[in-house]
A and B are shown apart, each in its own frame.
Chain A
Amino acid sequence: MKGWYPVFCKETANFFVSPIAYAVIAVFLLISGFFFWANMSWLSLVSLQAASNPAFAGRINITDFVVRPLIQNMSIILLFVIPLLSMRLFSEEKRSGSIELLLTYPITDSGVLAGKFLAAMVVVVVMLAGTLSYPILMFALSDPDPGQILTGYLGMLLMGMSFMALGMFISSLTENQIVAAAVSFAIALLFWVMSWTSTLAGDTLGSVIRQLTVLEHLDSFNKGVLSLSDISFFVLFTAFCLFLTLRTLETYRWRG
């Protein structure tokens, strides 16, 4: 990890000096804002109709009608935008050749890795922080379940971390940013929906596939459940991708 901090500063500066971070954050906020507005409007329409039906009105609450769908939608948008953030992490430096200089400074490979990964995560955190206005509005207008919002955000952060690590690994394999983004997105999407095939795969294999599926683990966060197995899934997923990236850097040196 030696020497990660200068790399972190440089990478963060790269995201925020260029329009990448702003464009991606703006896109994310625009789409998530649209979903928030749509969900809120739907809630108000349903509430209005339910005014004449007290039995039904009792089952209407902001947590089920807005918080959960909103967080689900935001995770899907994250799935789309994270490859856009991760694609340049190594591809850009490989193409320009600057990685050669970077790897001859007194910084360990893991330091380079940590600096880049954390800088990309700063963008994710800023992006998620930008959406905090939705819960604030919800608290002002109604009484959503704070616990469920908290676990929902934690789930998105962990998912973002996993996909960022995946994207960084793919980026370390290619000099082409578009290829990096496309491949990371495809793999992330496969991990997202893998469980759809679990019923076809039989008992054992099916449960293995379900355990590897991001959506399954994310769902419990969205239900307000914090379980060790879900957290460790994301942590292990991230660690495994970081490990692969480190090995890729090493082979890059050998081939250099």
Chain B
Amino acid sequence: MIEVEGLTKYYGNFPAVRDVTFRVESGEIVGFLGPNGAGKTTTMRILTCFSPATSGTARILGMDVRHESLKIREKVGYLPENVPLYDWMRVGKYLDFVARAKRIPSDKRKTEIDRVAKSAGVDQVMGRIVRSLSKGYRQRVGLAQALIGDPPILILDEPTIGLDPKQIREIRDLIKGFSRDRTVILSTHILPEVSQVCSRVVIINKGSIVAEDTPDNLIGGHGGARKARVTVKAPESDLLQLLSSVRGVSSVESQGATNSTETSVIVETLPETDVRPELARAVIEKGWDLMELRPLQVSLEDVFIDLVTEESQAFGANAAEAPAEVA
């Protein structure tokens, strides 16, 4: 369990994180979402006891990061951004070093390394030198070192960045696989990842939390309106007039003629109503050909962009400040 209260971190005069408060229950996978420089990495560095906060408290499993740093570090597995491993070491030796550093007793060390290597899928490359590994395997070795000691808390900073789509899926499945009994915080700016992997999302921008909910609620709660795209073989003005008169439609917006005969419009409806049957009927009754009738889903991407841009408008004055280099 992770409890963060009023966490603030300044780099000089620049607030990288300000007054961040959130809670992660055990067994949850929480996604940290935000543009570069939003304060994701800074928050993670505070949680992993790498860097102390300027003010506020963070408790992991009930222990304060300030006062019980060493005990927390035994319970937290961390994968930093860019996966800084020791390039000159062999994978097996590296994992052995990590196991020693994490104080795994010598009689259990070998079985622990084998277990971790298997679950992260690096058992085939144990003899390879880290430098020679592909990006995907590097990431896996990074995950393996985080998993050593079976920590109940995992903190992963952009675990899938820079991987190809197949590798992304593999790493994602790995994370889902070993997260059943663990608390996981992962940061990302790949949006589909969040809706696939995470049970909850914390959106952070310019150092502050702007939204926190399940991916579904975020999408559902966004605006509440539904949209549908309608393409009909009909003149534009007639079509607009007809569709505006359908009950439940709040606005109709023309997308222009797609070709000489067809016209596309976006129909926005009142919340919680589905007007597609009425729309279809109205068009057919007019004797026009209905070419397309497709509901438009609000994606997490829209939510994210909206929240992030709203924020930067609200913080207009601050936006002029130099952006943080530390993400």
A residues neighboring B (CB under 8 Å): 2-3, 5-7, 9-10, 13-14, 17-18, 96-108, 253-256
Q: Are B145 and A101 in contact (CB under 8 A)?
A: yes
Interface status of B121 (Cβ within 8 A of chain A): no
Nearest opposing residue in chain B for A10, CB measure: B97
Q: Are A96 and B11 in contact (CB under 8 A)?
A: no
Nearest opposing residue in chain B for A115, CB measure: B101
Q: Which of B42-50, B281-289, B293-301, B316-324 is near enough to bind chain A?
A: B42-50
Q: Are A104 and B88 in contact (CB under 8 A)?
A: no
Nearest opposing residue in chain B for A100, CB measure: B80
Closest beta carbon of chain B to A245's beta carbon, Å: 18
Nearest opposing residue in chain B for A253, CB measure: B51
Contacts of A17 in B (CB 8 A): 88-89
Given contacts A3-B103, A5-B100, contact A101 B80 (CB under 8 A): yes
Chain B positions 70 through 93: 1 when the CB is less than 8 Å from some CB of chain A, otherwise 0: 110110101010101111110001
Contacts of B78 in A (CB 8 A): 101, 104
Nearest opposing residue in chain A for B78, CB measure: A104
Number of interface residues of B (CB under 8 A): 29
Given contacts A105-B73, A108-B70, A253-B50, contact A100 B84 (CB under 8 A): yes
A178 to B266, CA, bound (A): 62
A256 to B80, CA, bound (A): 12
Instruction: Enumerate the 5 nearest inter-chain pairs by beta-carbon distance, A residue then B residue, closest first.
Output: A6-B100, A97-B84, A256-B51, A98-B84, A105-B101
Given contacts A17-B88, A104-B48, A104-B50, contact A255 B11 (CB under 8 A): yes
| Neighbour of A105 across the interface among B51, B93, B98, CB < 8 A | B98
Q: Are B52 and A253 in contact (CB under 8 A)?
A: yes
Given contacts A17-B88, A253-B50, A256-B51, contact A104 B11 (CB under 8 A): no
Interface status of B102 (Cβ within 8 A of chain A): yes
Q: Are A103 and B101 in contact (CB under 8 A)?
A: no
Given contacts A104-B48, A106-B101, contact A97 B80 (CB under 8 A): yes
Can you list 9 residue pairs at the A/B interface with Cβ under 8 Å?
A2-B70, A3-B101, A98-B85, A100-B50, A103-B50, A105-B73, A105-B98, A253-B50, A254-B51
A14 to B130, CA, bound (A): 13
Contacts of A2 in B (CB 8 A): 70
A102 to B102, CA, bound (A): 10
Closest beta carbon of chain B to A130's beta carbon, Å: 24
Q: Are A106 and B70 in contact (CB under 8 A)?
A: yes
- Number of inter-chain CB pairs below 8 Å: 69
| Neighbour of A96 across the interface among B87, B93, B100, CB < 8 A | B87
Residue of A9, A17, A99, A100 with most chain B CB atoms under a 10 A cut-off? A100
Q: Are A18 and B88 in contact (CB under 8 A)?
A: yes
Contacts of B51 in A (CB 8 A): 253-256
Q: Are A6 and B52 in contact (CB under 8 A)?
A: no
A108 to B51, CA, bound (A): 14
A105 to B48, CA, bound (A): 9
A255 to B12, CA, bound (A): 9
Q: Are A96 and B102 in contact (CB under 8 A)?
A: no
Chain B positions 100 through 124: 1 when the CB is less than 8 Å from some CB of chain A, otherwise 0: 1111000000000000000000000
Nearest opposing residue in chain B for A18, CB measure: B88
A207 to B69, CA, bound (A): 46
Contacts of B71 in A (CB 8 A): 106
Contacts of B97 in A (CB 8 A): 6, 9-10
| Neighbour of B84 across the interface among A96, A108, A254, A255, CB < 8 A | A96
A106 to B50, CA, bound (A): 11
Q: Are B49 and A104 in contact (CB under 8 A)?
A: yes
- 20 additional contacts (CB under 8 A) given A13-B89, A13-B93: A3-B103, A6-B100, A9-B100, A14-B86, A17-B89, A100-B84, A102-B101, A103-B50, A104-B48, A104-B49, A104-B50, A104-B73, A104-B76, A104-B78, A105-B73, A106-B101, A253-B52, A254-B52, A256-B45, A256-B50
Nearest opposing residue in chain B for A96, CB measure: B84
Contacts of A6 in B (CB 8 A): 97, 100-101
A179 to B48, CA, bound (A): 30
A201 to B100, CA, bound (A): 53
Nearest opposing residue in chain B for A103, CB measure: B50
Closest beta carbon of chain B to A14's beta carbon, Å: 6
Nearest opposing residue in chain A for B82, CB measure: A97
Nearest opposing residue in chain B for A17, CB measure: B88
A2 to B98, CA, bound (A): 15
Nearest opposing residue in chain A for B81, CB measure: A97
A135 to B40, CA, bound (A): 60
